[in-house]
Each structure stands twice: as C-alpha cells, then as structure tokens.
Amino acid sequence: MAGKSAKVGVLALQGDVREHAALLVGLGADVVLVRRPEELAAVDGLVIPGGESSVIDKLSRIFGMQEPIRAAIADGMPVFGTCAGLIMLADTVTDAIDGQESFGGLDVVVRRNAFGRQAESFEAELDVPELGGAPVKAAFIRGPVVESVGPAASVLAALPDGRVVAVEQENLLGLSFHPEITGETRFHQRFLDLLAPR
C-alpha cells in the first residue's frame, strides 16, 4: 500500500488528535505526535486536526511551531487539515478573532463556524468523484465553509446547496468536516498517497 511506511505527524497542540492518529495507524502509517519543531522535522507529512483554530494558532506560536509549519508547507510537505485544520491552512480566514493567524498555503477563503453552534452539528452524505465508490459520510461540527476557491486550488466536494467543503492543492488537502469521526478512511489514504516516493 502506498504510504504504508510513511512517518506521519499529527499536530498535537489541541483537538481530536487521538482519532486521527488511530485512523492513520490503522492504514499502516508510523504516527508521531508533533508539538515541537524537531518533531515536525522528523515526519514526511502532517495532519492538522479539528479543534479550535484560534487556540491552535496561539499554541503554535507559544510552542515555536508557526514558522516551521509555514516553511514546511512552502517546501512541499503534504499537509491534511480537517475542520479547524482547514482554517489553519487557508490563506484567508473570515470571522476570525482579533489577531488570529493561519499557516496559509491553501488558495481559499474560509469562514469560521459557518454552520453555527455545536448544537447545529449535522451529518451529510457527499459525492466525491475523485475518491470513487460510495458517498462520503461527513460529520460537520461547528465547521468552516470555503467561501471562494482561488486558481491554485480545486474543489473535491460541496454540499447540495453548493457550499464547498473539501479542497485540495498539490500537497495540501482540507476538509470542513471530520472523516475520523465517521470512520471514513479514503481522505486519509489520499493524504498518505501524497507521501509515496515520487
């Protein structure tokens, strides 16, 4: 399997770190929890989990991770962000709190908490032609939405009303939802395939 021996980092500052790590281990990846620059330097790709984007932003600066992650993205490291992770990958974030920053790299505009409060969380089935097979069961929990997609990025999936919820751009993959909660493995496998030797 492509990516089977890949060393994958999960950014472990805040959020649903364990769920991503368990799913990746199940796909055969060697998983490292990343909190410091030296741990980031030892991995082939990075997952930024869902959580609270403003907290991940603050902690990334406290732990000296913001600039190393930005440099890794610019250098072509595969990075996969879900929910808050998508916000952290977006070049532009709307409805951000004062002073909030992202790592950037993904040519999109993302709106935080676009689906309302946690009580308004929902699940939906999404057609994702690039993945093939059955529709994706997607869990949206205070998720962001992609408001616009620049020329460098491409849309992988949208809700029936047209709101974009999955995008990719070369080494970057971003989702508004949580595949690790519903047991959906195909996005993680797509990410691992980016780590295969080229």
Residues tagged active-site: 83, 178, 180
Q: Where are the alpha helices (DSSP H) in the chain?
A: 17-26, 37-40, 53-62, 66-74, 84-89, 179-182, 186-194
Q: Which of 193, 151, 4, 184 is nearest to 82 (CA)?
A: 184
167 CB-near residues (< 8 Å, 6+ apart):
86, 106, 108, 146, 149, 153, 154, 155, 156, 173, 174
Q: How far is CA 183 from CA 19, 104, 106, 144, in A?
A: 10, 27, 25, 20
Report which of 69, 70, 81 is spatially closest to residue 188, judged by C-alpha positions.
81
Tokens of 35: 């909190």
- Residue closest to 34 by CA, chosen among 74, 64, 6: 64
